[in-house]
Amino acid sequence: MTIVSPREFYGASAWRGFPGPSTRKAGRADRPARPLTPRRLGPGGQLFGPALVLVIWELASLTGLLSPRLLAAPSTAVATGYRLLVEGVLVQHFLASAERAYLGLAIGVALGLALALIAGLTRLGEATIDGLVQIKRAIPTLALIPLAILWLGIGETMKVALIVTSVLVPVYINTHAALRGIDLRYVELARTVGLSRLEFIRRVALPGALPGFFTGLRLAVTMCWTALVVLEQINTTEGIGYLMNRARDYGQTDVIVVGLVVYAALGLLSDGAVRWWERRVLSYRKVIGT
């Protein structure tokens, strides 16, 4: 038998791969096939969910379903936020919080990075540091508060120190893992082109570990604010956390909502800033979706 076409070979009924003119339904538009994966969201597409929640929340407040004693309406919160902003209260508390958070973040990231490099690039460092950080990782930051108060008092030092210890962990873990996971093929290459140890660290190990470092940094920037909320319940007269706690005492749910919004906005903005920086630094990667 001479096979003339796949269609003939497989039989007309089985062959669906390339319908010839005779099987083509007349008048059917040449539409692209239905994609199996959802089409990508347009810019701002993720805002749909939050907007939906806002609308339901406002309606619930308007109809009296949601008592302002439990949760203020979004519109009330916006008005309160505006009032606090104009009075300068919000800015004052925000700056106090930001100073703690970002000071702790800066020190924590630097320390986490330094420890990861020492542990990732030397045997002694690995033996000394890695176990300790893993133990620290298992202890929640909040559990360290009693000891930290005994050692450092209830002032700013204690708060910044605790932010440092919590921020250090994700930076260390991710950077260290990336250093350990350096592609062995690149190590081999470095040997065949005769790189020195220092050149290897600079040209291969550090750039290879950068994606891991950025993952850690993204976790760290949100974490420094998380730690702050709890810490600002201890002996403070300034800070977003303080503002919210005081509002709880007075039953001002609108102020609490304002505080939450500030935290959310900061978290998102910080994350966005790190991602922007990451994209610039790792511009060699043509990763789809970033």
Regarding 137 and contact with another protein (CB under 8 A), the answer is: no
Residues 66 and 153: their CA atoms lie apart, in Å, by 42
Q: How far is the CB of 118 from another protein (least distance, A)?
A: 22
Amino acid at 184: L
Comparison of 24 and 191: residue with beta carbon closer to another protein: 191
Residues 194 and 94: their CA atoms lie apart, in Å, by 53
Q: How far is the CB of 290 from another protein (least distance, A)?
A: 13
147-158 CB burial, b ≥16 within 10 A, e <16: ebeeeeeeebeb
Residues 71 and 252: their CA atoms lie apart, in Å, by 9
| Piece of the chain touching another protein by CB under 8 A; list 34-42, 47-55, 270-278, 280-288 | 280-288
Residues 24 and 208: their CA atoms lie apart, in Å, by 53
Regarding 286 and contact with another protein (CB under 8 A), the answer is: yes
- Residues numbered 205-234 forming contacts with another protein, rule: CB under 8 A: 207-208, 210
Q: What count of residues does the chain have? A: 290
Regarding 190 and contact with another protein (CB under 8 A), the answer is: yes
Regarding 280 and contact with another protein (CB under 8 A), the answer is: no
Q: How far is the CB of 213 from another protein (least distance, A)?
A: 13
Tell which one of 39, 40, 69, 185 touches another protein (CB under 8 A).
185
Which position has the token pair 């900061």?
266
Tell which one of 14, 54, 181, 191 touches another protein (CB under 8 A).
191
Question: How far from chain centre, in Å, is Cα 184?
Answer: 29
Regarding 194 and contact with another protein (CB under 8 A), the answer is: yes
Comparison of 45 and 194: residue with beta carbon closer to another protein: 194
Regarding 285 and contact with another protein (CB under 8 A), the answer is: yes
DSSP assignment string, 212-263: HHHHHHHHHHHHHHHHHHHHTTSS-SSSHHHHHHHHHHHT-HHHHHHHHHHH
Regarding 186 and contact with another protein (CB under 8 A), the answer is: yes
Residues 174 and 207: their CA atoms lie apart, in Å, by 14
Residues that bind another protein (CB under 8 A): 185-186, 188-195, 199, 203-204, 207-208, 210, 282-286
